[in-house]
Amino acid sequence: MSGFFKSSIGRKYAMALSAFFLMFFLLQHFAINILSVFSPDAFNEASHFMGTFWAVQYVLQPILIFGVIYHFVMGFILEARNRSARVKKYAKNNGAANSSWMSRNMIYSGLCILAFLVLHFIDFWFPEINTKYIQGDMSGLLGNGEGFRYYEELAHKFESPLRVGAYVIAFVFLSLHLMHGFSSAFQSAGASSMRKEKLQLFGKAYAIIIPLGFIFIALFHHFNHH
Amino acid sequence: MNLTLKIWRQSDANDKGKMVDYKVTEISEHMSFLEMMDVLNEQLINKGEEPVAFDHDCREGICGMCSMFINGEAHGPDRGVTTCQLHMRMFKDGDTITIEPFRAKAFPVIKDLVVDRSAFDRIQHAGGYISVNTSGNTQDANATLISKHAADEAMDAATCIGCGACVASCKNASAMLFVGAKVSQYALLPQGQVEAVDRVKNMVAQMDLEGFGNCTNTGACEVECPKGISLENIARMNREFLSANVKS
């Protein structure tokens, strides 16, 4: 396997593998977040479990962080190499004639998602790490000790219409990214075209339903606090 | 038909090059695109100007020599054709047509619309073949049984004429459809199995060495390919490459 991940195809596999992991993560993130709409208690329970269970915190979380960083860094490296493969651009290039906008602009939808992740980390991840590992409060309880803090924190974040707007825009770009990315990851991993047709359909459904679900959650909490 | 042509002119590989406008008149809609270029060149020669250099050979869609990026697409706006098979009826009287060479770092311009596609030859030399003893006692080809499905798929892959439209169309100037087709045509047949591991590893290594970009599965190559080579060939190459790297 020496040199596999330095080769063009090896890097395609690596991008696909990190994409699979991130898409699975997104699904479980959605599954937990949607609980906040139906049952604040269930959301609190699930959040506390994810936030304190050792395997999630010390095994899955580092893998996730590595996966996110790898997917972005390798995305940029591949984009740079791909741009250098055509030094002189065409005077006229009709890309829309042969490919989708989503497939040609993965770097831009990816950059929007990266910008969103910075906001998302500032909103949730950094405060969470601060509370748990710097202040050492692993209880998951509110300051007054009356119940879990997770639902309150989530609902509070979505009070600001600016933040909700930013989330909605980011999830539209995530949808566009997944619209190509889902089936592209399977194609890179060598999935045959027979299975690909069903996969493409499933991928399109995933790319619409999951981001739309996240948008719904943000809007739900925003309007339920006004 | 009367047309305005915007054509890339470049005197040699070192020249900076520029787009130059030309008018051509009395073009028949039944002409092929290359015949229209012939008319233009006759006009230029009669005026004492340098004719436009462009690649062509068989003029029946087999050899893969004619290139040209026409109005933003490899081999122009028609589907499943090379430039020699593109007819002027695809355009309207008074149209302005932009004509550029295939652009890729691995396909340097030699002159005007002529590019050096020998990178494809070097990829082929790296493994696009099978080694057969031709000493006179070669076994009958029909003695090796091949399923109809595999034979058909291998034949589909083998119809690649190496024109480079995939590279020209790809936003990343990737050659993976070409290499995928060449790997697939052997991977699907029993005769190709003996050298399968080295073939895919060496051809991919040469492809990377030539400076082609990486495939991002936009599918533009498949749409613009004059022979309809499927993306499935890229998926197959990926599987072959992984399998070859696991084996050795």
Q: ipTM score here?
A: 0.93
Which of A81, A89, A94 minimises the CB distance to B73?
A94
* Same domain, residue pair B126 and B233: yes
- Contact in structure between B99 and B6 (CB atoms under 8 Å): yes
In contact, B120 and B160? CB cutoff 8 Å: no
Q: Which one, of B117, B28, B25, B26, lies nearest residue B68 by Cα? A: B117
What are the two backbone dihedrals, phi and then psi, of residue B189, each rounded to the nearest 5 degrees? -110, 150
| Residue in A with minimal Cα distance to B221 | A98
> What is the structure's pLDDT at A77?
95
How close does chain A come to B136, measured CA to CA in Å? Answer: 39
Looking at B83, B111, B139, the residue that finishes a domain is B111
pLDDT confidence of residue B139: 80
Pick left, alpha or beta for residue B61 (phi over 0 → left; psi -120 to 50 → alpha; otherwise beta).
Answer: left
CA distance B200 to chain A (A): 11
Residues B232 and B144 in one domain: yes
Give a yes or no: residue A93 inside a domain.
no
SS3 of B71, please?
Answer: coil
Does A134 reach chain B within 8 Å, measured CB to CB? no
Contact status, residue B168 vs residue B69, Cβ threshold 8 Å: yes
Non-local CB neighbours of A139 within 8 Å, separated by 6+ positions: none
For the stretch A123-138, pLDDT in tens is: 989 999 999 889 888 8
Which tokens hold the place of B160? 């690649």
- Inside any domain, residue A90: no
The number of distinct structural domains making up chain B is 2
Select from B104, B117, B213, B105 the least CA-distant residue to B163.
Answer: B117
* Structural domain harbouring B39: 3-111
Same domain? For B126 and B243 the reply is: yes
Rounded to a whole number of angstroms, the distance from the CA of B38 to the nearest CA of chain A is: 23
B240 and B138 co-located in one domain: yes
Residue in B closest to A88 by C-alpha:
B103
Residues of B within 8 A of A187 (CB-CB) are 217, 231, 234-235
State whether B181 and B224 are in the same domain.
yes
Of B6, B220, B235, the CB nearest to A190: B235
User: Does residue B12 share a domain with residue B32?
Assistant: yes
pLDDT at A1: 65
Which residue from B minimizes the CA distance to A99?
B220
Helix, strand, coil % over all residues of chain B, rounded to 5: 40, 15, 50
Chain A to chain B, count of Cβ pairs less than 8 Å apart?
135
The residue from B111, B134, B153 where one domain ends is: B111
Chain Cα centroid distance, residue A140: 24
Of A82, A87, A196, the CB nearest to B172: A82
**Number of domains making up chain A:** 1
Q: Do B204 and A82 touch (CB under 8 A)?
A: no
Contact state of A84 with B105 under an 8 Å Cβ cutoff: yes
Q: How confident is the model at residue A44 (pLDDT cuts 50, 70, 90)?
A: very high
Q: Provide φ and ψ at B7, rounded to 5°.
A: -120, 140
A4 in a domain, yes or no?
no
pLDDT tens digits along A156-188: 999 999 999 999 999 999 999 999 999 999 999
Residue-level pLDDT at A194: 64
For residue A73, tell me if it sits in a domain. yes
Chain A segment 1-60 residues within 8 A of B by beta carbon are 1, 4, 7-13
φ, ψ dihedrals at B127, nearest 5°:
170, 0
In a domain, A106, yes or no: yes
For residue A75, tell me if it sits in a domain.
yes
Domain boundary among B111, B126, B144: B111
CATH number of domain containing A164: 1.20.1300.10
Range of the domain at A203: 9-84+101-139+147-224
Check CB contact under 8 Å for A193 and B231.
yes
pLDDT score at A2: 64
The answer to whether residue A159 sits within a structural domain is yes
CB nearest A85 (choices: B98, B173, B245): B173
β B96-100/B3-9 pair status? parallel
Instruction: Please report residues of B whose CB lies closer than 8 A to that of A195.
Output: none
The pLDDT value recorded for residue A56 is: 93
Q: Give the pLDDT confidence score for residue A3 in this predicted structure.
A: 80
pLDDT at A226: 52
Q: How far apart are CA A93 and CA B73, in angstroms?
A: 7
Do B87 and B193 reside in the same domain of the chain? no
Query: What's the gap in Å between the CA of B236 and the closest CA on chain A?
Result: 6
- pLDDT grade for A144, boundaries at 50, 70 and 90: confident
State the DSSP string of A145-160: SSSBSHHHHHHHHTT-
pLDDT of residue B217: 95
Per-residue tens of pLDDT for chain B, all 248 residues: 999 999 999 999 999 999 999 999 999 999 999 999 999 999 999 999 999 999 999 999 999 999 999 999 999 999 999 999 999 999 999 999 999 999 999 999 999 999 999 999 999 999 999 998 888 887 887 888 999 999 999 999 999 999 999 999 999 999 999 999 999 999 999 999 999 999 999 999 999 999 999 999 999 999 999 999 999 999 999 999 999 999 88
What is the Cα–Cα distance from A193 to A52, expressed in whole angstroms?
42
Cβ–Cβ gap B217/A8 under 8 Å: no
Residues B100 and B126 in one domain: no
Give the DSSP per-residue string, B69-88.
EETTEET-SSSS--GGG-BG
pLDDT(A145) > 80 = no
**Helix B196-209 / helix B176-187 crossing angle, nearest 10 deg:** 170
- Evaluate whether residue A118 is within a structural domain: yes
Among candidates A188, A203, A88, which has minimal Cα distance to B115? A88
Q: Read off the DSSP letter of residue B148.
A: H
Residue B90: CATH number of its domain = 3.10.20.30
- Chain A residues with beta carbon closer than 8 angstroms to that of B245: 1, 4, 10
What is the CATH number for B143? 1.10.1060.10
Distance CA A97, CA B70 (A): 12
